[in-house]
Amino acid sequence: MRWLRVLLLALVVLLGWLQYRLWFGEGGTRAVEELDARVVQQRRQNEGLEQRNAALAAEVADLKSGEAAIEERARNELGMIRPGETFYRVVDEDTAAPVPEAGTPQEDAP
């Protein structure tokens, strides 16, 4: 009868040790949850990078295929125009700075 109590105590201690390793040990449930969260985050980051890469690949293909994309980029980013073209800038009246009339002195702004 005494050996049964010793065996039962040993099994309870073994069960407690295994539960501790399952919940808190290396490779336990907490570590698995942390790894799952990192995997989800990495997948989101990879999707964003894949979209960026696809956009860059399309732009590279467009630049290699013709001069239209190069011309558009030069016009938009560098403000270039072709020889013989006239550049017009349209200014909205609401956002334009007031132009002083001829012959009127300008007041100094504080």
- Residue 5 vs residue 71, higher pLDDT: 5
Question: Is the per-residue pLDDT at 105 higher than 80?
Answer: no
Q: Return the pLDDT at 100.
A: 62
**pLDDT tier for residue 80 given thresholds of 50, 70 and 90:** confident
CA 39 to CA 26: how far, in whole Å? 18
Among 80-84, 88-92, 100-104, whose mean pLDDT is lowest?
Answer: 100-104
Which pLDDT band holds residue 98 (cuts at 50, 70, 90)?
low
Q: What is the pTM of this model?
A: 0.42
Measured CA to CA, the distance from residue 46 to residue 73 in angstroms comes to 28
Encode pLDDT of 23-65 as tens digits.
777 777 788 888 999 999 999 999 999 999 999 998 888 778 8
Residues 6+ apart with CB under 8 A from 106: 100
- CB burial string 15-24: b at 16+ within 10 A, e below: eeeeeeeeee
Pair 75, 81: CB distance under 8 Å: yes
